Amino acid sequence: MRIFTLNNDYSVVCNSEGTRYGFRHLATLHKNGFGIAKLKICYYNRTWERFEFESVVIRCIEDNFTGREREEFLQIIRELN
């Protein structure tokens, strides 16, 4: 499990699970400690991310935020590595 803190209100909690054909990354968007959105990405082969959970965190932000807030959160994730 890994937690990505976006600001004082929002964070993304990520987990990885094995599947019959590969694995999946699961992300839950939290606002003030409560889960408000879930997302999963399934992988059947190796993934080439700069850091673990990069794709699922970025998609979670893109799907749930717009405008300035979206750009700020994406910049936070890009600066991680």
Give the pLDDT confidence of 21-32 residue by residue, as tens digits.
889 999 999 999
Whether 13 contacts 27, CB under 8 Å: yes
Give the pLDDT confidence of 27-67 residue by residue, as tens digits.
999 999 999 999 999 988 776 777 889 999 999 999 999 99
Whether 54 contacts 35, CB under 8 Å: no
C-alpha torsion sign, points 57, 60, 63, 69: negative
- What's the whole-model pTM score? 0.89
C-alpha torsion sign, points 53, 59, 61, 63: negative
| Residue 57, burial from CB neighbour count under 10 angstroms (0-12, 13-18, 19+) | buried
Q: Where are the domains of the chain?
A: 2-78
